[in-house]
Amino acid sequence: MNVVEKFIKYVKVETTSNEESTTCPSTPIQLNLAKLLVEELKALGLEDITLDDNGYIMATLPSNTEKELPTIGFLSHMDTSPDMSGKDVKPRIIENYDGNPIVLNESLNILLSPAEFSSLNNYVGKDLIVTDGTTLLGADDKAGIAEIMTAMEYLINHPEVEHGKIRVAFTPDEEIGRGTDKFDVKMFGADIAYTIDGGELGELEYENFNAANAWLTINGNNIHPGSAKNKMLSAMEIAFELDGMLPPNERPQFTENYEGFYHLVRMGGNVEQVKMMYILRDHDKDLYENKKEYFTNVVNYLNTKYGNETVEMDLRDMYFNMKEKVEPVMHIVDTAVEAMESLDIEPIIVPIRGGTDGSRLSYMGLPCPNLFTGGHNFHGKYEYICIQSMEKSVETIVKIIELFASK
């Protein structure tokens, strides 16, 4: 199978992760894809294939040279975001895209339009894979899986391409921030690695957000409104007050590049009690710490105003900026740049406005920049991917491996 056939096969397997689950993987359905991938790895002829109880897959493409070369790892994640359904995904190929709006779903009047998504203008004449407007596509990160698998298949079928030992891994639960919780770096045994989990053609990332999540429970006092004077305490109104105290311009819709933000991800409840979850993000470590401090001060102020434990908070660091760990081994970034340029791909080195498994792996001792998959508009019904970009991703993986063998 080529990369497109693999990708379409994978996205049809539901693998949505669940943040509220305490198991690993967070959803058993992720194991359905994991088992499929294990069988494909066996059929390809990779060795040392393992699938543990937590849903982590590892496999080896043995070296075919006598040279002493670093062991290189390539990783992607199997789960898709719980932000939108990943069940019954119906991918569709748009051949030779003509630049006009794409009707994703006629009955629901859902259009993928260049007027709203200008990136489409870059793909006139190219082939795209889109959704039917009712689910996400799953390019994040089943495109990465398909590209790694296709690259391994190419190397097996072309033994004349010299390479060292290659390790591949596919992980669960990246979308809920737990993708490397039980990843065994020592067992993986790579010296350096790349996640294949980026966006458009040429993206290369070795900086990401420092990230914290804050889970809040706001406790009110519900009294019948007819006799509520001086008695009722509305948890909903306190929630509005808390959100209004955060800097209005430091929200995702007003930020870009290296600018951080506070983001209310979800909330629900009533007068008696409200649950909220925020994410706090910044590339700069000092600004990140300031955000956590400011957020904590807001909570403390409300508890002083309304009484202790009115607002209960669980604030946790989730991951840190990998730049600190990658810069000492910048040759792995330089090699990726060289690989792209040799393939006439213009490298787009940008900070990740999010995180990848690679950010945590870098702090676990495995420096791990992130490479493009070719996808756009992840986590929603407007997600799409360019087939030619997927093919270039496969070529980039192979070229990186070749360059390490030639040095």
The active-site residue, picked from 14, 79, 141, 147, is: 79
Alpha carbon distance 205, 354 (integer Å): 11
- State the number of CA atoms in the 13 A half-sphere of 195 facing the CB: 33
In sequence order, the 6+-apart residues with CB closer than 8 A to the CB of 92 are 129, 130, 131, 132
The pair of structure tokens assigned to 362 is 């870098």
Q: Six-digit token pair at 323? A: 């730049």
Query: Nearest 5 degrees, angle CA 330-CA 194-CA 387?
Result: 120
Indicate the Cα dihedral angle 389, 390, 391, 393, nearest 10°: 90
* Catalytic site residue from 141, 153, 174, 250: 174
User: Alpha helices of 129-234 — where are they, by DSSP H?
Assistant: 139-157, 185-188
- List, in order, residues 6 or more apart from 19 with CB less than 8 Å away: 26, 82, 176
Distance between CA atoms of residues 142 and 144, nearest Å: 5
Q: Is 79 a catalytic residue?
A: yes
Q: CB neighbours of 378 closer than 8 A, spacing ≥ 6?
A: 81, 136, 139, 140, 199
Question: Which phi and psi (to 5°) does residue 141 adopt?
Answer: -140, 35
Cis peptide before 48 (omega within 30 of 0): no
Residue type at 227 in one-letter notation: S
d(CA 196, CA 71): 17
Per the listing, tokens 């508009």 go with 377
Question: Is residue 174 annotated as a catalytic residue, yes or no?
Answer: yes
What's CA 165's distance to the chain center, in Å? 26
Residue 32 burial by CB count (10 A; 0-12/13-18/19+): exposed, middle or buried? Answer: middle
> How many CA atoms within 13 Å lie on the side-chain side of 264?
15
CA dihedral 200, 205, 210, 215 (to 10 degrees): 30
Known catalytic residues are: 79, 174
